[in-house]
Amino acid sequence: MTDKITVRAEAERLFAFFKASGAMAIDADLLQPADTLLDLYGEDIRARAYVTQDPNRGEMMLRPDFTVPVVQTHMEHGGEPARYTYLGEVFRKQQADSGRATEYLQVGYELFDREDPERADAEVFSLFNEVLSPLGLRPATGDIGILKAAVETLTTTDRRKGALMRHIWRPRRFRALLDRFTGRDDMDAARKALLDRVAKDGAGTVVNAGGPEIGLRSREDVLARLAHLQADAAEPPISRSEAEVLDVILSLRETLPNAHQHLRDITVDLPGMAASVDRMARRMDALAAAGITVEDLPFEASFGRTTLEYYDGFVFGFVAEGRPDLPPVATGGRYDALTRVLGRGQEIPAVGGVIRPELVQQLREGLA
Amino acid sequence: MTLKLGVPSKGRLMEKTFDWFADRGIDMRRSGSDREYAAQVDGADVDLVLLSAGEIPRELQAGRIHLGVTGSDLVRERIPAWQDVVRELQPMGFGFADLIIAVPAFWVDVNSLDDLDAAAADFRRRHGHRLRIATKYHRLVREFLRDAGVADYQLVDSQGATEGTVKNLTAEAVADITSTGETLRANHLKILPGGLIHRSQAVLFKSRTADWSNGNKEILEELTERLHG
């Protein structure tokens, strides 16, 4: 059992490192309004965060992360570019049998910079790499932007692309959608029967026969979706060859330079991927310039897909090898879209990450 | 200490529980006046504890009762990692009810969880908030929808008259217990195909956390033999 004082000292050390690297210290309330977090993360956050009730302020959550309040503070008051660091508790419900901590310290670093996103990615990664280097952790990197670009290049309707984009963070659902759009799965019988009826009797009649209009989802909403379903049924499937390329990208696991080369070759057939592969190349150069040995750096195209986070570009993690019982010691990534959602019309490219000091402390003790 | 058995304290569930045990040679009855919450067991070395069905999961979890009769839905909803805490000794064949997702019948475009997910995405875009599902079974519904990959919904709490929430514009869909579907139909709702979350019935549960020493284990063995008898 590591005692809290020792962990706190480790956290202070990491915090001091980030401050010395030029970040401004920032703090956030322990009680966060639940509606912002719920709107952002969906119902899943309720399973992971502690919700409490205040008769005046409504539902509040015990801070499940710093990212959201830090982005909010920055967008209200911050100049640009800005570097922030923070130290404090976060609270997460855990599975009853997992034995994982429900309350722990996080030390984080967030960088808001419009000028050169790839250099910013490299700055954050190399800082984490430097402060964690004595622990001999295994780094992992990925790029959700590559996956998004791959979906964007598919020859199909915006609606289908939109459905795939929406589920990039849910691999199983993504797969099911892809199988349907490529015709690997047949249209289900109920859908077919419905479309036959609509073709025969007209959409209005079919909806009226269903029952009276009740609730906020209106008759108009139902008719609009029926029209989409009809249009979609008339669409040709996504071609097998395109789906195969997507599979290749999804399962790509290589060193960063090899992964880049592989993706570069793919852009010959899919020129739409070129911009994001160029970004990857610039990031690789920026990482090398920051002193990272990119030749050995692992790249996994699907890394970061299963987290709750809002990452939509570069993603990274540091894990203790041979300790599958431990969560990652550090994780981070780019979350431009999150700033767009929170900024109500404004946005600022942002990248950052968090370290769990109690794991750092535990691993250092093991080394000593 | 004697073996404690928690049973529902009133209504059909209590009667059916008493009948079920009587069929297996164990006579239970309420002692004293009808309003008194005490009970007796003849033919087995057991203390009967009368409790509200909703409290039985908590008592099993705390180990304050050794055995308990309650709905399988309540145990799954109220006890995290329930298999580690209680064991299903015997399904009892009554108290059947299905926890299902229901949507307005005129949503002819929604006939699967896939459809629900797509409709929720459109709804959020058009109406500016997530599609609301009214329920009191938060854990079961959330886990079910997460496994199905449904996004863009939110749960709103409803402890009763859940079927009316759609008409009252406090939810767009519901997740609730139904046995015949009558109330759903009367409220112009239909069961979503693929939206069966759990088939519930009354089950005799054993607490893993209760004290099984002092002969309680032997009493249980004797009891189970008679129940299977």
Whether chain B has a CB inside 8 Å of the CB on A96: the answer is yes
Closest CB to A207: pick one of B106, B152, B167. Answer: B106
- Contact by Cβ (8 Å): A306, A316: no
Measured on CA atoms in the order B59, B62, B64, B65, is the torsion positive or negative?
Answer: positive
DSSP A1: -
Whether residue B183 is found in the same domain as residue B210: no
Q: Where are the domains of chain A?
A: 1-116+352-368, 159-239
pLDDT of residue B214: 84
Confidence grade of residue A197 (pLDDT, cut at 50, 70, 90): very high
Whether residue B21 is found in the same domain as residue B50: yes
Q: How many domains, in total, are found in chain B? A: 2
Search chain B and give the residue with CA nearest A174: B149
Whether residue B113 is found in the same domain as residue B143: yes
A318 DSSP β-pair partners: A139, A330
Question: Are A222 and B108 within 8 A, CB to CB?
Answer: yes
Query: For the whole model, what pTM was predicted?
Result: 0.88
Domain that holds residue B71: 3-93+202-228
When scoring A41, A43, A174 by the number of chain B Cβ atoms within 10 A, the one with the most, hence best to mutate, is: A43
Q: Which pLDDT tens digit goes with each residue over A146-180?
A: 999 999 999 999 999 999 999 988 888 899 899 99
Whether residue B54 is found in the same domain as residue B120: no
Q: Residue B106 sits in a domain of what CATH number? A: 3.40.190.10
Whether residue B151 is found in the same domain as residue B182: yes
Q: Which pLDDT tens digit goes with each residue over A273-282?
A: 999 999 999 9
Whether chain B has a CB inside 8 Å of the CB on A217: the answer is yes
Interface residues from chain B to A (CB-CB < 8 Å) = 80-81, 84, 104-109, 111-112, 114, 117-119, 121-123, 126-127, 129-131, 138-139, 142-143, 145-146, 148-149, 151-155, 166-167, 169, 171-172, 188, 190, 193
Q: Which pLDDT tens digit goes with each residue over B200-209?
A: 999 999 999 9
For the cut 70, the answer to whether the pLDDT of residue A308 exceeds it is: no
Whether residue B118 is found in the same domain as residue B65: no
Confidence grade of residue B58 (pLDDT, cut at 50, 70, 90): very high
Question: Are B119 and A176 within 8 A, CB to CB?
Answer: no
Whether residue B161 is found in the same domain as residue B175: yes
Q: Which pLDDT tens digit goes with each residue over B131-146?
A: 999 999 999 999 999 9
Question: Are B111 and A167 within 8 A, CB to CB?
Answer: no
Whether chain B has a CB inside 8 Å of the CB on A262: the answer is no
Closest CB to B149: pick one of A97, A167, A212. Answer: A167
DSSP A140-186: EEEEHHHHHHHHHTSSS-HHHHHHHHHTTT-HHHHHHHHHHHTTSSP
ipTM for the whole complex: 0.86
Whether residue B28 is found in the same domain as residue B60: yes
For the cut 70, the answer to whether the pLDDT of residue B98 exceeds it is: yes
pLDDT of residue A368: 59
Lowest mean pLDDT among A221-225, A260-264, B211-215: B211-215
On whether the A1-116+352-368 domain is CATH 3.30.930.10, my answer is yes
Q: Which pLDDT tens digit goes with each residue over A40-81?
A: 888 888 888 999 988 888 889 999 999 999 999 998 887 888
Give the rounded distance of the alpha carbon of A361 from its chain centre: 27
Whether residue B176 is found in the same domain as residue B208: no
